[in-house]
Amino acid sequence: MSSPLRADVFLAPAIPAIPPFPIPHAIPPLWTPTAATLISSAHEAILVDPLFTTTQATALADWIDALFPDKRLTYIYITHGHGDHFFGLSTLRQRFPNATAVATEGVLKHMEQQISPAGQAVWETLFPGGQIVFPASPPAEALPAHDLTLELEGHKLHAVPAGHSDTDDSSFLWVPDLKLAVAGDIVYNNAYSFLAETLTAPLREQWIDAIQKVRSFRPETVIVGHKTPSAVDGAWNLDATERYIEMWGRLVGEAKDAEDMFDRVRREDPDRTGEFVLWWSCLQQFPREGNATAKA
Ligand SMILES: [Zn+2]
């Protein structure tokens, strides 16, 4: 009998970011805490989403070393192309040179865009001063579309393309043995969802379809990309994220500008973390003159 799998989550704490305009009510600009997941068997492990800044990636690598000094990291899987989930690859690769970074073809294309000069410029504006070391190109290998399976000592894990969620071409990793989905940014846990690339009703519908795709596997645990640190990653966050996207669509029809949208969302849903992401989303939904926020 093969050994059972286990899953561990590393959560990088909130870090300061530079917003294009100050956040209303003098709220400190902080990037929402971001998760990396380690799925492991007796002797091997697969890391999902190698985080962002060099500080975060170094802490993640130290954590892996301390947790499993004797396990071999075989793959690093990237759920979606946003840099805050994969720029840490440059550090992780130094620390685990035998691990192969992999992603779906769509995610890999997005990653290439993020490490292009234009993509780097956006992230440098938000996080200046050499906090990020951008991975070399190509940042990962594309999984063949006809076989999106990763193997962990005989256990199969499945990469599942899910289309648009908080960005285009997102995916999640399904771990059948644990009835667990590593959902990236398809699902948020008590954190304001990033809607800056989901500005129309059809795109909001596509995101809800992506949530439904995760739901269709009947997961018992849904690991999210961004969360309130103390919040448990229950499958109920599928419904909660869907409700949030629907609320957003309703409030877009009622708000008059970015500030008004910001206040309305916080009135209806005050307990979430990540006002930076909320403000950025409001600025994209209600653009104004001199809005320097480029698409990440
Ligand atoms: Zn993210």
What is the bridge-based pairing of β-strands 170-175 and 180-182? Answer: antiparallel
Q: What's the 265 CA to ligand 1 centre distance in angstroms?
A: 19
Instruction: For residue range 254-269, list pLDDT tens digits in order.
Output: 999 999 999 999 999 9
Q: State mean pLDDT over 113-138.
A: 96
Q: State mean pLDDT over 151-156.
A: 97
Q: What's the 119 CA to ligand 1 centre distance in angstroms?
A: 15
Q: What's the 52 CA to ligand 1 centre distance in angstroms?
A: 10
Asked whether residue 99 carries a pLDDT value surpassing 80, the answer given is: yes
Distance CA 8, CA 41 (A): 12
Q: State mean pLDDT over 61-75.
A: 97
C-alpha triplet 237, 175, 180: angle, nearest 5°: 25
Asked whether residue 189 carries a pLDDT value surpassing 70, the answer given is: yes
Instruction: For residue range 116-128, list pLDDT tens digits in order.
Output: 999 999 999 999 9
Q: What's the 192 CA to ligand 1 centre distance in angstroms?
A: 11
Q: What's the 36 CA to ligand 1 centre distance in angstroms?
A: 11
Distance CA 36, CA 85 (A): 8
Local confidence band at 288 (pLDDT 50, 70, 90 cut-offs)? confident
Q: What's the 225 CA to ligand 1 centre distance in angstroms?
A: 6
Q: What's the 55 CA to ligand 1 centre distance in angstroms?
A: 17
State residue 249's pLDDT score. Answer: 98
Q: What's the 109 CA to ligand 1 centre distance in angstroms?
A: 17
List, in sequence order, every residue forming a beta bridge with 223; answer none if it has no partner.
Answer: 182
State residue 291's pLDDT score. Answer: 55
Q: What's the 82 CA to ligand 1 centre distance in angstroms?
A: 6
Asked whether residue 34 carries a pLDDT value surpassing 70, the answer given is: yes
Q: What's the 249 CA to ligand 1 centre distance in angstroms?
A: 20
State residue 19's pLDDT score. Answer: 87
Q: Is 89 buried (19+), middle (13-18) or exposed (0-12) by CB count in 10 A?
A: buried
Q: State mean pLDDT over 148-175.
A: 97
State residue 233's pLDDT score. Answer: 97
Q: State mean pLDDT over 215-220.
A: 98
Q: What's the 84 CA to ligand 1 centre distance in angstroms?
A: 6
Q: What's the 31 CA to ligand 1 centre distance in angstroms?
A: 9
List, in sequence order, every residue forming a beta bridge with 35; answer none if it has no partner.
Answer: 11
Q: What's the 38 CA to ligand 1 centre distance in angstroms?
A: 17
State residue 296's pLDDT score. Answer: 45
Asked whether residue 292 carries a pLDDT value surpassing 70, the answer given is: no
Distance CA 265, CA 36 (A): 28
Q: Positive or negative CA dihedral for 278, 284, 289, 290?
A: positive
Q: What's the 186 CA to ligand 1 centre distance in angstroms?
A: 9
Task: Name the average pLDDT for the chain.
Answer: 96
State residue 75's pLDDT score. Answer: 98
Distance CA 9, CA 122 (A): 28
Asked whether residue 294 carries a pLDDT value surpassing 60, the answer given is: no
Give the burial string for 244-256 (b: 16+ CB within 10 Å, else e): bbeebbebbeebe
Q: What's the 255 CA to ligand 1 centre distance in angstroms?
A: 25
State residue 252's pLDDT score. Answer: 98
Distance CA 103, CA 101 (A): 7
Q: What's the 168 CA to ligand 1 centre distance in angstroms?
A: 12
Tokens representing 23 are 């956040």
- Residues whose Cβ atom is located within 5 A of ion ligand 1: 82, 84, 185, 225
Asked whether residue 206 carries a pLDDT value surpassing 80, the answer given is: yes
Q: What's the 226 CA to ligand 1 centre distance in angstroms?
A: 6
Q: What's the 3 CA to ligand 1 centre distance in angstroms?
A: 32
Asked whether residue 277 carries a pLDDT value surpassing 60, the answer given is: yes
Q: What's the 154 CA to ligand 1 centre distance in angstroms?
A: 30
